[in-house]
Amino acid sequence: MAALEEEFTLSAVPLGAGPDGLLGVEQCDKTDQFLITDGGRTVILYKVSDQKPLGSWSVKQGQVITCPAVCNFQTGEYIVVHDSKVLRLWTNEDVNLDKVFKATLSAEVYRILSIPGTEPMVLFKEGAVRGLEALLAEPQQKIEAVISDEEVIKWTKFFMVFRHPALIFITEKHGNYFAYVQKFNSSVVSKYTLLLGQEEKSVIQSFTASLCRKFISLMSLSSDGCIYETLIPIHPSDPEKNQHQKVVRSLLLKTVVSGNARNALSVLDQDHVAVLGPPLPASKECLSIWNTKFQTLQISKELPQGTSGQLWYYGEHLFMLHGKILTVIPYKCEMSSLAGALGKLKHGQDPGTQTMPHFVNWETSQGLGSQNAEPSKRILRRRKIEASVQPEVPASQQLLSTIKKDSEKHIEMELRKFLAIKRTPDFHTVIGDIVIGLLGRCKTEPSFYPRNSLMQLIQMHVLSYSLCPGLMEVALEKTDVQMLQLCLQQFPDIPEAVTCACLKMFLSDAVQEEQMEDQTGILQNGFNPEEDTCGNCDKELSEKPQNTIEETTSCPVIPKRAALLNAVLHSAYSETFLLPHLKDIPAQHITLFLQYLYFLYLKCSENATMTLPGIHPPTLNQIMDWICLLLDANFTVVVMIPEAKSLLLSLYKFVKSQICICSELNKIEVSFRELQKLNQEKNNRELYSIEVLELF
Amino acid sequence: MKGAVETSCALQTPSRPGRAQHPFSVLGFLTLKGDESGVSQARPLPFPRMGEFKVHRVRFFNYVPSGIRCVAYNNQSNRLAVSRTDGTVEIYNLSANYFQEKFFPGHESRTTEALCWAKGQRLFSAGLNGEIIEYDLQALNIKYSMDAFGGPIWSMAASPSGSQLLIGCEDGSVKLFQINPDKIQFERNFDRQKSRILSLSWHPSGTHIAAGSIDYISVFDVKSGSTTHKMLVDRQYMGVSKRKCIIWGVAFLSDGTVISVDSAGKVQFWDSATGTLVKTHLVANADVQSIAVSDQEDSFVVGTAEGTVFHFQLVSVTSNSSEKQWVRTKPFQHHTHDVRTVAHSPTALISGGTDTHLVIRPLMEKVEVKNYDAALRKITFPHRRLISCSKKRQLLLFQFSHHLDLWRLGSTVATGKHGDTLPLSKDADHLLHLKTKGPENIICSCVSPCGSWIAYSTASRFFLCRLNYEHDNISLHRVSKMPAFLRSAVQILFSEDSTKLFVASNQGSLHIIRLLEGSFKHLHTFQAQPGTVESMCLLAVSPDGNWLAASGTSAGVHVYNVKRLKLHCTVPAYNFPVTALAIAPKTNNLVIAHSDQQIFEYSIPDKQYTEWSRTIQKQGFHYLWLQRDTPITHISFHPKRPMHILLHDAYMFCIIDKSLPLPNDKTLLYNPLPPTNESDVIRRRTAHAFKISKRYKPLLFMDLLDERTLVAVERPLDDIIAQLPPPIKKKKFGT
């Protein structure tokens, strides 16, 4: 859940004396430090956690800072522009801005853009872009005009797109908006016209952008109070022709603020945006966090003293002027945590089939550092262990280096050798490192996919999702359902998003094709879909006389798919995190899955113990939970599908029967307790007796 | 006791890897038995029936231990102080097999709300009567009590250096006391708060303290005594606003984090520097009542009203990273009722609560060797005797906190074979209900072997009563005018012929009093050994009345010559405290049981250990014998069989026959099956000195009434649970 924490102010000194508030808040090369550029003549460096200024610099009387100061992440210097053309570079040691390095440029600068990992870029008001180094080498170089005369740059942002810097800026001319995207690896400028749609009259008040795979997701807040999203491709399919493309914006959130005031928008993460502005025309200004996926307001905070309509977001802090005072509000959006994921643990495991090390010894996984701090009497004992550990550390290191260069076959052999060695206390972390090593190579070398090695490692029963985060993603990419099944069976902590992605794949047609592909390869790795539950129940089924209606007697899916789905049923999840992902599954698949679950339920109810046959069958609770989840997530969709109608009716019936069972069970429990009480009373009566005892 | 039985079973297999052959020997034994069974059936049993008894199985001792209110762990001495709701304070020695070595009797008006160790080994308690009490751990009495003038005291904490004591009062005041060598002295008040201070915790540097009140936590600066932060706690509980949120416990960590537990079921982490909430864990649907942090601050434990104990550990977020996070790692459900208090020793989590059990749960990863110490301990019953018995009149005296009950056992004329319940010709009678005057709990009591005297003592008074039996009527006559030196006794014992009374006072001295018809005469006082003030907790007198053995908690056993009124000898001190003492008839061998389950036999006339004692020390006890987790609380002897020693703990009763060979680790120690089909040879081969019965449990007392009759007092756990308030009900089915 997104949450705003208690706000705090950075300085009691009023800032933003100018009508436009602050010029900018920019990150520094040191975490937690930010450069604040006042509208007038001052740049202040703040350490946010201490709420303290670390330094302050001013330009001379008569000069005006025209562009917010930024930090050059490569050199650690600060850069500011005053009087549109004069560039100043300085460091923390400098005191007087007048005495620092100065360069006068030939054209007016719109903004200096700096992000970690690349050199700062200078965007001129005419739309031209120069690297800082090139510009400093020759300050008076001629700057061409990229945009037309009456166009004015409204907003700009600088990104790293796959390790290459890319720049987007928006211009406006007579109420029309244009977006320019410039990439520096190809130095091509693509121009797009933003089509506003029906709301031609509205004026765009604020922009924000984020990277969304192959697109820049440009969000804009219009004066009608709505947030629109425009997707601008980063890699235009044909740069020559697309010199002047049109992009349409789509409505993302409706009327989040009242349009009249000065509002601001900032993207927080892929699902959350922060909006600054009054929610109603008459009301006070508010900072609100919206979830764009669910279109819901997550949290809102009133700012009674008004703002300057500016909002900056870095890391975990939102910066704004509240009244005249710079205010920082920490923002947090908790991701699904391990504890959350373990909220619903796997249960009903056969001790024979899966020996998951549920008891992780935290002590040993904390490395040697903490061991040294142990009481002295343990040292001797430890020393022995350490002595035995030391020669093995190179073994894993050696394997890791093998992974980096050798062939799949060789790696497999080395791995087998390595696994034959006795396990050390940090065995699971070593295995995790090996998997990460393998995956690292997978990412760099698309043809490299050491399936056998990975399968072997997973079957060591020591891995968890957190130990090798990329593994399931790679398996998903390769549609390797066997690997996914194994992971689902072995890992206790798979995020719900990944579980759902697996489910999606298992329900899709990919499963059928795969089966044809390499049956032998599958068996070789010890994976045998026939062994699993539904293989058995299917066989049993065919032997039985078909006396009930057709739909309930035959398994709606092929055994292999059933086995895969069972793996999903067994996985751990937390409802709140799973539900949103379940909504993305197509309706047909939902129906199919529901049919399968219903089938399982019927099979379950056939015997008195309410269990399914097979080695590792899903439990009744798991089946029920998943039915509830699916219906919760997709009820409106399912209810519209005619095929699902009878299914829903039967589901309704069995829910009713479940409620009956529960109430009966509760009654029985109470009766038993009463019986126990009676029994106890009977025992109590024998308070005294004389018995005969013989000792042997 | 279900828990303890399970643990001992569970531990037998994995704990002794070195004795792998043990199970095979058992198997071998069994097959052999099958082979020769046909032959032996017709033969008469060659062995004398050494142990056939009529057992009076008594279950009407309706003793209910008081609930545990506080525990305080002392790292220096590895001792645990436990206070109960009736004001009793007990000291457990965790190094000595969790033996309860000392106790301070309770007092009706002294409900202890807080308990802490300070200045190393000094123990303080505070309670709702508004007094701070210091205990004298040597003399086993209260050193002094001092009114704090702040109304009822809810919380107390000793400073990290141990030189200051902080208390939180009903009126919202936090008071600081200086601990002087002989007393404590009020130093000053901190800023007064709105409502009672329920919990206190010092910052390890001693500069700040956190105080939990109702609805908020205050952080004080110790130097100025002023509040630096006030952290408001959310009253909301699962969306429902409760009336109040009580902060039951706080813990201040050295990095400035304050951990709080409250009545809304939350465990919350606060940053004391900024006064902000950092993290919340909702752990229970009911109150979280207690918290304890380990010394390393890498783990802590909380206890909830649902009986669950949660373990939290500081764990790296990912492997290799230095960033650490508090994670709820293990839940334990060893209690049925509220866990009122928890403690965290370096190797174990300790919890106690309304269900009266003290649970010690070792942390498996901290235990170096997976031996019997790694087992869960559940201590329910006191490690001292509450029952005494008059053999002549077949009377049992039951000691409760504020009264004594005298019962006469019934009788039967029938006979039967092993396992039969005989029809009663006369039922047991409740003869007497003796209520003490005043608020103090009874420390000890004793009925004389002849049944004519009852003596008992509270912390400030000693009582001696004479009983007269006229047919079915009993008259009780209190002996008045007890001498001034007989004010309080730690242990009382009558001589076998009921003519002498031995009283161990809490100053370390032993008084001998001659009893006459309706009066008494002081014979002699053995003063404490020079330089010691240790009280003698255990007494034993020889049946001929010549020898008196007395033992404290740490020093050796002193043997006095009663005729000559002088110290005869001292049995060398042993590392573990004595749990039971007895002197055998005729031989005058002193049998001593220690908390590590060792038994010594010492010949008083010869002033040396007996041959048998040396043999068993040389060979060692059976490993299952050493793994028992309750101490031996009573030893007695058979009048006709000098080779037999009878002893019992809470889960078994044993007759040691010194004439038989000692068992080694390969022999089956406990064989519950009657040896019906066994041949002579096998019996001869398998018979060993320890004859054990586990039929009566939990066994609080067992003694021999005459040659063929035993009395066993059991207290089934179910009966105790039935008398406790109902636990929080949890629904099992449906939602």
pLDDT at B252: 95
Chain B residues with CB under 8 Å of A367 CB are 320
Give one DSSP letter per residue of A102-142, joined into a string.
EEE-SS-EEEEE--TTS--EEEETTS-EEEHHHHHHSTT--
For residue B698, say if its preceding peptide bond is cis, omega within 30 degrees of 0. yes
Among the partner-chain residues B313, B427, B695, the one whose CB lies closest to the CB of A688 is: B427
Q: Which residue of B has its CA nearest to A692?
A: B54
Highest mean pLDDT among A138-152, A575-589, A652-666, B577-591: B577-591
The answer to whether the CB atoms of B319 and A432 lie below 8 A apart is yes
Q: What is the mean pLDDT of residues A296-317?
A: 81
Neighbours of A325 (CB within 10 A): 16
Among the partner-chain residues B318, B319, B419, the one whose CB lies closest to the CB of A692 is: B419
Among the partner-chain residues B691, B719, B732, the one whose CB lies closest to the CB of A696 is: B691
* pLDDT single digits (tens) A108-128: 899 898 888 888 889 998 888
Q: To the nearest whole angstrom, how far is the Cα of A429 from the nearest Cα of chain B?
A: 7
The answer to whether the CB atoms of B57 and A366 lie below 8 A apart is no
Whose CA is closest to B51, among B667, B684, B692, B624?
B692
Q: Is A304 or B246 the better-scoring residue by pLDDT?
A: B246
Max intra-chain CA distance, chain B: 91
Among the partner-chain residues B320, B675, B733, the one whose CB lies closest to the CB of A662 is: B733
The answer to whether the CB atoms of B421 and A689 lie below 8 A apart is yes
Q: Looking at the complex, does the CB of residue A690 fall below 8 Å from at least one CB of chain B?
A: yes
Q: How far apart are CA A593 and CA A630, in angstroms?
A: 9
Q: To the nearest whole angstrom, how far is the Cα of A7 from the nearest Cα of chain B?
A: 11
Region of poorest pLDDT, from A25-34, A441-450, B674-683: B674-683
What is the number of alpha carbons within 13 Å of residue A503 lying toward its C-beta?
A: 29
Q: To the nearest whole angstrom, how far is the Cα of B709 from the nearest Cα of chain A?
A: 9
Cα angle A568, A571, A573 (rounded to 5 degrees) comes to: 115
Flag whether pLDDT at A178 surpasses 70. Answer: yes
- A446 phi and psi angles, rounded to 5 deg: -60, -30
Q: To the nearest whole angstrom, how far is the Cα of B470 from the nearest Cα of chain A?
A: 25
Q: Which residue of A has its CA nearest to B415?
A: A692
pLDDT at A520: 34
pTM: 0.59
Contact indicator for A590, A630 with CB cutoff of 8 Å: yes
The answer to whether the CB atoms of B722 and A680 lie below 8 A apart is yes
The answer to whether the CB atoms of B424 and A696 lie below 8 A apart is no
Q: How far apart are CA A672 and CA A572, in angstroms?
A: 33
At A521, is the pLDDT very low, low, confident or very high (cuts 50, 70, 90)?
Answer: very low
Among the partner-chain residues A662, A663, A690, the one whose CB lies closest to the CB of B424 is: A690
Query: What residue type is assigned to position A72 of the chain?
Result: N
Q: What is the mean pLDDT of each run of 10 residues along chain B (735 residues)?
A: 37 36 35 36 44 88 93 93 94 90 90 90 93 90 91 94 93 93 92 92 94 94 92 75 85 94 92 92 90 93 93 83 86 92 93 93 73 79 93 93 93 86 89 90 93 91 90 85 84 92 87 86 84 80 92 83 91 89 93 93 93 92 89 92 92 91 84 62 73 89 91 90 82 58
pLDDT at A491: 85
Q: How far apart are CA B576 and CA B598, in angstroms?
A: 9
Q: To the nearest whole angstrom, how far is the Cα of B76 from the nearest Cα of chain A?
A: 14
The answer to whether the CB atoms of B320 and A692 lie below 8 A apart is no
Q: How far apart are CA B88 and CA B99, in angstroms?
A: 16
Q: Classify A219 as helix, strand or coil.
A: strand
Whose CA is closest to B59, among B719, B730, B721, B725?
B719
The answer to whether the CB atoms of B693 and A659 lie below 8 A apart is no
Chain B residues with CB under 8 Å of A686 CB are 59
Chain A residues with CB under 8 Å of B50 CB are 695
pLDDT at A383: 41
Q: To the nearest whole angstrom, how far is the Cα of B460 from the nearest Cα of chain A?
A: 35
Three-class secondary structure assignment of A149-161: CCCEEEEEEEEEE
- Which two tokens mark B385? 């005797």
Q: How far apart are CA B302 and CA B313, in angstroms?
A: 11
Contact indicator for A185, A191 with CB cutoff of 8 Å: no
Q: Looking at the complex, does the CB of residue A687 fall below 8 Å from at least one CB of chain B?
A: yes
The DSSP bridge partners found for residue B281 are: B267
Q: How far apart are CA B154 and CA B177, in angstroms?
A: 15
Chain B residues with CB under 8 Å of A425 CB are none
Q: Which residue of B has its CA nearest to A655?
A: B734
Contact indicator for A568, A499 with CB cutoff of 8 Å: yes
Helices (H), A518-584: 519-524, 533-543, 550-553, 559-570, 575-582
Which string of b and e fits A661-678 if b means at least 16 CB within 10 Å?
eeeeeeeeeeeeeeeeee
Region of poorest pLDDT, from A129-138, A417-426, B163-172, B573-582: A417-426
pLDDT at B29: 35
Flag whether pLDDT at A409 surpasses 90. Answer: no
Interface mutation target, options A429, A684, A690, chain B, most CBs of B under 10 Å: A690
| Radius of gyration of chain A, Cα coordinates, nearest whole angstrom | 32
At A545, is the pLDDT very low, low, confident or very high (cuts 50, 70, 90)?
Answer: very low
A and B: number of Cβ contacts within 8 A: 123
Chain A residues with CB under 8 Å of B416 CB are 692
pLDDT at A43: 87
Among the partner-chain residues A364, A365, A690, the one whose CB lies closest to the CB of B55 is: A690
- B6 phi and psi angles, rounded to 5 deg: -60, -40
The answer to whether the CB atoms of B734 and A683 lie below 8 A apart is no
Q: What is the mean pLDDT of residues A164-177?
A: 85
The DSSP bridge partners found for residue A272 are: A291
Q: Classify B125 as helix, strand or coil.
A: strand
pLDDT at A384: 43
Q: How far apart are CA B411 and CA B427, in angstroms?
A: 7
The answer to whether the CB atoms of A694 and B51 lie below 8 A apart is yes
- Which two tokens mark A177? 């908006």
| DSSP-derived pairing of the beta strands A2-4 and B510-516 | unpaired
pLDDT at B50: 60
The answer to whether the CB atoms of A691 and B733 lie below 8 A apart is no
- Which two tokens mark A167? 């720049």
Interface of A with B in 357-396 (CB under 8 A): 359, 361-367, 373, 375, 378, 381
Q: To the nearest whole angstrom, how far is the Cα of B275 from the nearest Cα of chain A?
A: 10
What's the mean pLDDT when you consider all of chain A? 76
- Which two tokens mark B582? 């007895």
Neighbours of B543 (CB within 10 A): 18
- How far, CA to CA in Å, does A568 sit from each of A441, A561, A618? 28, 11, 9
The answer to whether the CB atoms of A362 and B313 lie below 8 A apart is yes
pLDDT at A239: 53
At A395, is the pLDDT very low, low, confident or very high (cuts 50, 70, 90)?
Answer: confident
The answer to whether the CB atoms of B57 and A365 lie below 8 A apart is no
Flag whether pLDDT at A571 surpasses 70. Answer: yes
Neighbours of A11 (CB within 10 A): 15
Among the partner-chain residues A362, A381, A692, the one whose CB lies closest to the CB of B422 is: A692
Task: Indicate whether this complex's ipTM tops 0.95.
Answer: no
Flag whether pLDDT at A542 surpasses 60. Answer: no
Q: What is the mean pLDDT of residues A669-688?
A: 79
pLDDT at B72: 95
